[in-house]
Amino acid sequence: MKPLLEAILRSRLTRIAIFALLLVLLPFALDGFAQMPVIRFVRDPDVAPAFQLKDLDGKDLNLESSKGRVVLLNFWATWCGPCREEIPGLIALQDRYKERLQIIGLVVDDDDEKAIRSVMETEGINYPVALSDGQTRYNYGGIAALPTVFLINTEGRVVQKHVGLYNLSLYETEVRALLGLPIAAKVETFVDEGDIFLKHADRAKMLPGVDMTNLTQEQREAVLHQFNAESCDCGCKFTLAQCRIYDPACQISQKRTAEIVKRISPKADEKPPLILAPQPDSNPTAPADAPKP
């Protein structure tokens, strides 16, 4: 009986010791979690626009054939230095995840198939490459800079967009997250306010290069409504809001949005009229028909 009692006591003491240790380690674990890198995916993402193209081998290339896999849709060009720089990493990524990931390269602003094939052979590209038509580029919001990568989940929805050269470890972390594999990062979601698709620019609360800090909430809503109702005259065929997101360097949309803000915002040099309280008259004028004393 005594050995059994001792075993029970040791078991309870062990559990208490483990619990106490967890309480000590928990703050450190939470702090470590707070410092983990963050990846972000669109909340309620849109379906990826479909396309029907032919790759350089003459085979059909579309998103339907990649259904059930994560897709990295990579818009690039042979003359683009950053595009060329990320190719080896994309090749390694495609090789590492094989059947669960499909990278698709869409070449823009370059119809020299010989030059494209030369790059493919030199780099050893192991994923399909095709010439992107204008309609596909338009459907994906117009490609303002290269490289541009759209991340498409296994359900065929666009969950993220990256413009410019990124560390390939980010792509791999995102791919693993979408595949349900372990990652050393936190996952957050955000609402697309035109960052992924320009058609959602009407959701934006702020726009590049537009100062709305002095506006009231009502005035802010008014200028944003105007930005989404008026087209930009730069030739982009976008609204002012879409142009500011698509091309922050556009001087025409920047000038016009500033004019709208200035027109709707209160003038800084205008002061409300000074209203004086009525003062009692110390020497009132008696009416003409008032009786004389």
Residues 60 and 170 in one domain: yes
124 in a domain, yes or no? yes
Task: Report the distance separating Cα 12 and Cα 7, nearest Å.
Answer: 9
Shared domain for 123 and 90, answered yes or no, is yes
Residue 20 has pLDDT above 80, yes or no: no
Q: Are residues 186 and 224 in the same domain?
A: no
For the chain, the domain total comes to 2
Count CA atoms closer than 13 A to 288's CA, side-chain side.
0
Grade residue 109 by pLDDT with cuts at 50, 70 and 90: confident
**What integer is the mean pLDDT of 269-273?**
48
With 70 as the cut, is the pLDDT of residue 116 above it?
Answer: yes
For residue 22, being part of any structural domain is answered with no
CA 83 – CA 111 distance, rounded (Å) = 16
Residue 236 has pLDDT above 60, yes or no: yes
In DSSP terms, which residues pair with 245 in a beta bridge?
none
- Whose tokens are 């994309």? That residue is 90
Sequence-distant (6+) residues with CB within 8 A of 243 are 232, 234, 236, 250, 252, 253
pTM of the model: 0.78
74 within 8 A of 141, measured Cβ to Cβ: no
CA 111 to chain CA centroid, nearest Å = 30
User: Taking 70 as the threshold, does the pLDDT of residue 156 lie above it?
Assistant: yes
* Cβ pair 142, 196 in contact under 8 A: no
Question: Does residue 159 sit within a domain?
Answer: yes
Residue 163 pLDDT grade (very low, low, confident, very high; cuts 50, 70, 90): very high
Domain boundary among 136, 164, 190: 190
Name the residue range of residue 249's domain.
200-264
The arithmetic mean of pLDDT across residues 146-151, rounded, is 97
Average pLDDT over residues 124-135: 96
Question: Same domain, yes or no, for 64 and 98?
Answer: yes
Does residue 144 lie within any of the structural domains?
yes
